[in-house]
Structure 1
Amino acid sequence: MRTMTIQEADKHFIHTYNRSVVFTKGEGMYLYDDQGKKYLDMGAGIAVSALGYSNEEFKQALKDQIDDLIHISNLYYTKPAIKAAELICNVSGMDRVFFTNSGAEAIEGAIKLARKYAFNKNPQSKGEVIAMDHSFHGRTMGALSVTGTKHYREAFEPLIGGVSFATYNDLESVKALVTDETCAILLETLQGEGGIHPATPEFIKGLRTLCDEKDIALIFDEIQCGMGRTGKMYTYQHYGVTPDILTTAKALGCGVPVGAFAATEKYAVAMVPGDHGTTYGGNPLATAAICEVFHQYDKLHILDHVNEIAPYLTEKLETLAEAHPDKVKEVRGLGLMQGMELTIPAGDVVAKALQAGVVLISAGTNIIRFVPPLIVEKEHIDKMINVLDDVLSE
């Protein structure tokens, strides 16, 4: 039965989401709704809540920062921002950071930085960008312009110009689009919304060589697949390749809205005062969250845990697929970012799992996306698999 809370919300929200449950609190791997029902969360707020819910030290760090200072403009320095920037640079191999409020804003900044670098070389540059088919980079106009799924873009055109789309994992399709005006090649190192497709080593390394030869910015979008989700702090570190510009968000703040784009010195110095800005980005509360997230990752050995538990998730998903060959086409992914491609609508499976007390999310129309909190244990995976087995057996 729909509660009055949902009925009131539907009167006042712009209807861009098909919501169904009112969640009121979380603890560990579990969420609780306004009726007291308990749910196992295997979606982590779309790969955000890497530490699960109600981590006491994380909460205390935020409370302490609130007592000191929540916001001051970027006309001044703050200690949390200085420390957070250092931490990101240390784990990513980048040299400089700009903090944003979200992943989409990080993409916007990354595109601007690549275009400014090209402009500095040639003020007549058209700043063309090559992105990937089936990619997803966000909903703002710039991020939407480089999102390689037509139905997301078409109602909002004209978008920013100079963008073309290559085939993911097809290096020759990228080379065919490169011109003297190309300033950046942008991609997710592991596609999320587009269906959970990992990049091949040949593709990533080939892009790095191509960008070096042509002096083109290589931009890796690690907003969803970064922050330890695949067993490295950033997925590109599996390939032994470093981008020129990196975007990061989601688990960076574990629920506190914060993102960043970072760059090597060569590109970072292209921007000067007046080129870019933000009111809230990198404020003391947001960057205090980043600092504590990194502290918790070290304390809880999150990367070690992901590398230990991820093979179990993969094994269980593959066993489930073998048990339902008429319903499951393929399981693919890296680490704790896995996808299960179905022959039936994923939305139906997700809805039935929710009724059974397991929170899952989809990617597209027929893929279930598994992006649990990085503290997930075998017992949680087993519970989810049992529910999915029941749902797929119906």
Structure 2
Amino acid sequence: MSTSQTPEARQVAELVGASTGEAWLARYSDSLMGVFGTPQRVLVRGQGCYVWDADGKQYLDLLGGIAVNALGHAHPFVTSVISSQLATLGHVSNFFTSPTQVALAEKLLEITHAPAGSKVFFANSGTEANEAAFKLARRNGDGGRRTKIVALEGAFHGRTMGALALTAKKAYREPFAPLPGGVVHVPFGDLDALRAEVDETTQALFLEPIQGEAGVVPLPEGYLAEARRITREAGALLIVDEVQTGIGRTGSWLAIDGSGVVPDAVSLAKGLGGGFPIGALVTFGPENSALLSAGQHGTTFGGNPVATAAALATLHTIESQGLLGHVRSVGEHIAAALERLPEVTEVRGRGLLVGFDLAGPGGDATAVADDANLAGAVVNAALSAGFIVNAPGPRTIRLAPPLILTVEQADTFLAALPGLVEAAAAALKQKDPS
């Protein structure tokens, strides 16, 4: 284990017992349920955009806990606010409220430009925020006349049962059928299919401005505005899932900012707590905010003083340090650099949510088989080289680094990428020489 630990990290190590990565993974397989497969590494500490594993190896974190660690790791202000709040008041249940809960709700209504009469419900994660949104949609039932919810193919809205019903991937859904009924998926980006499906029986349309799990795929130009028109005419709710795209990830507070579209609700999570678990559903306007009344939904830990303090500290830091502009600038730099690489065939996304598709080394599309998991092999090569990235598809790499990532840090990965693709292709060839 690295000797350059903070005093806090050493305290944790004393509690859990020091060990090597190999030993920790053996203990993991003996004690934890295998729903995540085998972990890639055992991480023990982080600082800014870097993390270290149990064997002392350093990594540039270009995934940020899948868009969660908005301010990187061990951010001093967020850490101090969490510690101070926990030392003052940690949990009170929702029979009571706290100043941080109220202040955060007010701040979210401000940054989402929510109209008068809008409200906030706090949860602990994105899937829980979408569960609340699912219930909100069900309340738009018009006396039982409306029974259908529409979502898009390629969608990922979470893994709890209601959110899973909205999620499109069959591999996630089928083991748990039957799911909550009445959810229909329409082809992504197909407005004709959307018009045909959203009608007087529809409770709500759920969509993501950029589908992260599908490979960082933005909605087509004009789709969101037309979806708003279609849902309004049909009397259906438009619910926008900004769990991954919100809180500055795309260079604005919400990915839909600037679109002119006012939804009926927005779900938030991931980057909101700067690494501390919190989710939120923002309902727009008094009519939508009245759909869920006392006793119809709840949560034990949602909106607790520590989580809401962490979120307030995160939002304050993003705002006070001008990180929205920084995200746009660094994101444009990364996208432009990727587009110049022959190994990259397409770049998608906005800000610091970037997806790019891969060819083989030097742009040779025939270097690996069409069905080979080139992106997965690149993830492995990147780990060996000290970079953490993600492969949402066999040819697609996703980047969702901390919003504080610098150009210089990004450039270390961009310079290494051609070599990583070459190493990945060689590893695949060795695995399958045919």
Instruction: Please give the secondary structure, in 1, of the residue aligned with 2:349.
Output: strand
Determine the structure 1 residue equivalent to 2:126.
103
Determine the structure 2 residue equivalent to 1:232.
252
Distance (Å, rounded) in 1 between the aligned partners of 2:121 and 2:394 = 35
Aligned with residue 348 of structure 1, among 373, 377, 383: 377
Partners of 2:78 and 2:274 within 8 A in 1 = no
Distance (Å, rounded) in 1 between the aligned partners of 2:221 and 2:107 = 27
Q: Give me the CA root mean square deviation.
A: 1.3
Determine the structure 2 residue equivalent to 1:8.
27
1:114-193 pair list within 5 angstroms: 114-116=137-139, 118-119=140-141, 122-193=142-213
1:160-211 deviation line (CA, Å, top 9, x unaligned): 1000011222211111112321010000011000111111231000011112
Determine the structure 2 residue equivalent to 1:311.
332
Question: Is the deviation greater in 337-346 or in 179-188?
Answer: 337-346
Instruction: Please give the secondary structure, in 1, of the residue aligned with 2:137.
Output: helix
Partners of 1:114 and 1:267 within 8 A in 2 = no
> Percent of counterpart pairs with the same letter?
37
Q: How many residues align?
A: 386
Distance (Å, rounded) in 2 between the aligned partners of 1:83 and 1:125 = 38
Distance (Å, rounded) in 2 between the aligned partners of 1:352 and 1:16 = 24
Match status 1:329 vs 2:345 = yes
Distance (Å, rounded) in 1 between the aligned partners of 2:330 and 2:280 = 28
Letter in 2 for 1:289: A
Partners of 1:103 and 1:259 within 8 A in 2 = yes
Partners of 1:249 and 1:259 within 8 A in 2 = yes
Question: Is the deviation greater in 44-53 or in 338-347?
Answer: 338-347
Letter in 2 for 1:377: T
Letter in 1 for 2:355: G
Determine the structure 2 residue equivalent to 1:81.
101
Instruction: Please give the secondary structure, in 1, of the residue aligned with 2:256.
Output: helix
Any gaps of 5 or more consecutive residues in structure 2? 1-19, 360-371, 424-434
**CA offset at residue 126 of structure 1?**
4.4
Distance (Å, rounded) in 2 between the aligned partners of 1:162 and 1:194 = 23
Partners of 1:225 and 1:337 within 8 A in 2 = yes
Letter in 1 for 2:108: I
**CA offset at residue 336 of structure 1?**
1.0
Match status 1:375 vs 2:404 = yes
Partners of 1:70 and 1:285 within 8 A in 2 = yes
Determine the structure 2 residue equivalent to 1:198.
218
Partners of 1:166 and 1:174 within 8 A in 2 = yes
- Which protein shows a greater Rg? 2
Instruction: Please give the secondary structure, in 2, of the residue aligned with 1:201.
Output: coil
**CA offset at residue 215 of structure 1?**
1.5
Segments of 4+ moved more than 2 angstroms: none
1:292-329 deviation line (CA, Å, top 9, x unaligned): 11111112111011122111010111112xx22xxx43
